[in-house]
Structure 1
């Protein structure tokens, strides 16, 4: 039985990854990259049970070893666009288009070109759709946590605004097209291109072009490199090497043979990851629940005549933003803001001391903990209602809607876990406090 158990475990482990390097689209991509100078076989595309598509290491990588070095000729930048058939149209257009719009227009045009596109092998491996909020309907956005809800609407509105404000520019490209520009450069097409650039680009600062707007030109789409998945615990160094004329990524910890290679986009919580990249990371050590001002006010006494002054003081000292709960309980910023809001009129002279971490007297400390618990309760109730509405939307949902709902559900479940843990930790603090020096 033990022997069969080990074999079963080994078999199960093997099924967790499936190489994709023999799929025609990846064969074509590798051939295309080789023509442009990329010949490394250290990373191969594979499907992983936990993360989906990614890159697997074929040989051990030592600490600080090179993970990938992608030649400049493989990168898609605004220089690529300006040197293409779109270049003359962009250079003539006034006022100049933004670097982002130039890249979006190029992606849409190249997808339209099909087999005639020089970038077809890359276009073919790009996702057909994304789970960024730009794609979400009102029903989905309304299920997001309050702060993220506002940012999601803003993202969706930015894409709509970019599309409507670019209609005349898109129409100017008609001589290059085989179908009406208004059809080709639809909102859906721009949304796809916008998400492709914003979720898959690497940071690379370029010289300011006189043919583009003054917005920072920091985009570079990096074929193959963008197959690397994000892991919060991984450390890498990344940047464009002027000496080698390559975009290089080195692994700080190294990576074992046949394991998935990861990169890290930064210390982002899952709300930020969903907003900027369209995914969430299980086990994210940076996961938090945000406390917005509207939620905070629900716990405050509106009969407190000094409340407006307190809130103004917190705003002036940047203490009304990034108030959070984490798996280790309420953040220092949140508890500091609550301690200040708890102060009585005779304690106002100590406001600055409180912001520096001074201890509040026993009854004010108890009020602070009780208010934090009340915040947890309000946020948990709001989250439960969202999950209930979400369960109804899942009934009969298609694949696209199911993927979007899964992202929102993950956030809400994570939120409940964080708040539940915070409640337990705060409950321990409600035990009788010993007398301690503080403000009278």
Structure 2
């Protein structure tokens, strides 16, 4: 799933521009309508200043309104791959993921003179959407540690996918090369939706073929026009309608007339959104400032005894450390209490897992320790922002994160 390119806040007051008159949009709708696509709301494509291309409603929506119904045959699923000759491009002993295969399928179909999917493919961006994994190695090294690690992991997964596909192709005339595969991979990774793999498996035999994982990803034309919001309330699933399998999107909340209709990709923080989809959302309720365990030792000058160290490691309290508007994460609070609390060490487990922390620790020690960690992150960000080699998308994100840290400092001070 995915959209790219959240625009800067200074453009928020510009009006959305209609896109339905564009040739690619017209051809996509014609292609889908003649193949059973149902759009009961007559949704409109718009270019929104803050989110880019998206979907608007011409009338007010109420909970339970069906937004679109897409026939299963109009989705690119593992069934699509099995019914075509596509899988014959690969050696029989190949072991490829559903993401590998969908990415390669897009590239192959784009290279054909005639393709059933041509109108859908022409509606896709001609270049891969921006994500941090596509930055040069030297630019990735400029990023904060959590974003840097996530971008490197994303890049590694892309390279491993390409390596599997490249080694498995058995036809020399195949149009897939690294550049085109990156396009397909990023589009699938940012736009694919979840489909129930049990349903897909019933429709095609996956037991003795090259698929290495579950056939749980699919591309759904028009659905990928919707943008993400962490506040969106929709439901999308495969259902049987009048004897035919369809993918139906239903709203679970209200939307005012002419407003953009959003879907949710899941409860993702901004690091996840930026790395996977290429955008972030100011005010994201899932966002936080991640704290590395090494930073806790470095910033706070920790010198743990053997018991404290083993307790933290055995209870995995050195993982999932963060500070958010909701407060200090369970593990970070426990980590700091083990290191700085004055309670008898024999009663650590009882205090931590019953959330029975001493008042002095909560109101004094915890506040001061968290402030020091946040101020460390603030200084590190300011150093990074002084670098002229940063990508504009990254600058926007870091400026947002700087404001978030300052806000968290204020909230911690008020506790």
Q: TM-score, normalised by structure 1?
A: 0.83
Residue 187 of structure 1: how far off its partner (Å): 2.0
- Residue 241 of structure 1: which of 239, 242, 245 is its match? 239
How far apart, in 2, do the equivalents of 1:312 and 1:188 lie?
Answer: 48
Size of the aligned set, in residue pairs, is: 393
- Residue 349 of structure 1: which of 346, 349, 352 is its match? 346
Residue 80 of structure 1: how far off its partner (Å): 0.8
Q: Report the CA distance shift for 1:418/1:333 in structure 2 as closer, same or farther (over 3 A).
A: farther
Larger displacement relative to structure 2 (263-272 or 98-107): 98-107
Residue 99 of structure 2 corresponds to 100
Residue 365 of structure 1: how far off its partner (Å): 5.8
Question: Do the aligned residues in 1 keep the contact of 2:96 with 2:164 (CA within 8 Å)?
Answer: no
Residue 200 of structure 1 corresponds to 191
Coordinate RMSD, CA, aligned: 2.4
**C-alpha distance after superposition, 1:59-82 (max 9, x if no partner):** 332212112111112100121122
Residue 365 of structure 2 corresponds to 367
Residue 199 of structure 1: how far off its partner (Å): 1.0
Matched residue SS, 1:216? coil
Q: Report the CA distance shift for 1:302/1:58 in structure 2 as closer, same or farther (over 3 A).
A: closer
Residue 278 of structure 1: how far off its partner (Å): 1.8
Q: Which runs of 5+ in 1 are unaligned?
A: 1-11, 395-404, 430-440
Residue 161 of structure 1: how far off its partner (Å): 2.2
Residue 72 of structure 1 corresponds to 72
- Residue 317 of structure 1: which of 315, 318, 322 is its match? 315
Residue 400 of structure 1 corresponds to none
- Residue 227 of structure 2: which of 213, 226, 229 is its match? 229
Q: Report the CA distance shift for 1:311/1:108 in structure 2 as closer, same or farther (over 3 A).
A: farther
Q: Which runs of 5+ in 2 are unaligned?
A: 1-10
Residue 305 of structure 2 corresponds to 305
**C-alpha distance after superposition, 1:341-374 (max 9, x if no partner):** 2135x72112102322122363686333222111
How far apart, in 2, do the equivalents of 1:363 and 1:49 lie?
Answer: 46
Residue 160 of structure 1: how far off its partner (Å): 1.5
Residue 254 of structure 1: how far off its partner (Å): 2.6
Residue 28 of structure 2 corresponds to 29
Residue 187 of structure 1 corresponds to 178
Residue 327 of structure 1: how far off its partner (Å): 3.1
Residue 397 of structure 1 corresponds to none
Question: Do the aligned residues in 2 keep the contact of 1:328 with 1:421 (CA within 8 Å)?
Answer: no
After TM superposition, the structure 1 = structure 2 runs for residues 327-346 of structure 1, keeping only pairs within 5 Å, are: 327-344=325-342
Q: Report the CA distance shift for 1:58/1:46 in structure 2 as closer, same or farther (over 3 A).
A: same
Question: Do the aligned residues in 1 keep the contact of 2:77 with 2:217 (CA within 8 Å)?
Answer: yes
Higher share of residues assigned helix = 1
- Bigger relative CO (Cα 8 Å, ≥ 6 apart): 2
Question: Do the aligned residues in 2 keep the contact of 1:57 with 1:261 (CA within 8 Å)?
Answer: yes
Residue 52 of structure 1 corresponds to 52
Residue 39 of structure 1: how far off its partner (Å): 3.9
How far apart, in 1, do the equivalents of 2:399 and 2:320 lie?
Answer: 20
How far apart, in 2, do the equivalents of 1:80 and 1:89 lie?
Answer: 15
How far apart, in 1, do the equivalents of 2:12 and 2:149 lie?
Answer: 42
| 1:409 corresponds to 2:395 | yes
How far apart, in 2, do the equivalents of 1:352 and 1:232 lie?
Answer: 35
